């Protein structure tokens, strides 16, 4: 377990508060779990999962497992990919989807990070009309990539 504390108080005061609140937590000497293998089994790859939401929302999510990228933080390849996919200007995925009146928003970035790798996540907020064109939207995204 790790703790980060930010405050306007002097460091001695912050340290006193932290020690007072958290020193009773026992250190069990356990290491963080490490996940070996792939994030998705073969039977779960290239699958479409449709979920009926409990509130009025229209989104489509895409996930790609990636190898660990933490050691490439100076180059940030995931940041570059996220920027390209998430770009909103002329010629972008979103501009095309907006022109077709299929989507309102698109975001891309690293989602979950796990010990065996990272997860690229693309989320597209759809219009009511866009709900009828999810296959076409997926094809546009994959063509762009």
Across 95-100, average pLDDT = 97
Is a pLDDT exceeding 80 seen at residue 38?
no
Q: Buried b / exposed e across 36-64, counting CB within 10 Å, b at 16+? A: eeebeeeeeeeeeeeeeeeeeebebebee
What's the pLDDT score for residue 3?
Answer: 85
- pLDDT band of 75, cuts 50, 70, 90: confident
Is a pLDDT exceeding 80 seen at residue 42?
no
**Domain locations along the chain:** 42-144
Is pTM beyond 0.75? Reply is no
What's the pLDDT score for residue 139?
Answer: 96
- CATH class of the 42-144 domain in this structure: alpha beta
């Amino acid at each position: 377990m790790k703790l980060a504390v930010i405050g306007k108080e002097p460091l001695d005061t912050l340290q006193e508060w932290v020690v007072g609140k958290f020193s009773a937590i026992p250190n069990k000497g356990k290491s963080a779990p490490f996940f070996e293998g792939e994030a998705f089994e073969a039977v779960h790859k290239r699958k479409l999962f449709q979920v009926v939401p409990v509130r009025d929302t229209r989104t489509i999510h895409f996930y790609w497992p990636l190898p660990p990228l933490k050691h490439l933080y100076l180059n940030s390849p995931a940041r570059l990919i996220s920027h390209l996919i998430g770009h909103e200007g002329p010629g972008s995925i979103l501009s095309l989807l907006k022109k077709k009146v299929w989507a309102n928003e698109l975001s891309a970035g690293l989602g979950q990070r796990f010990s065996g790798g990272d997860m690229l996540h693309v989320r597209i907020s759809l219009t009511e009309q866009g709900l009828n064109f999810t296959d076409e939207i997926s094809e546009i995204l994959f063509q762009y990539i």
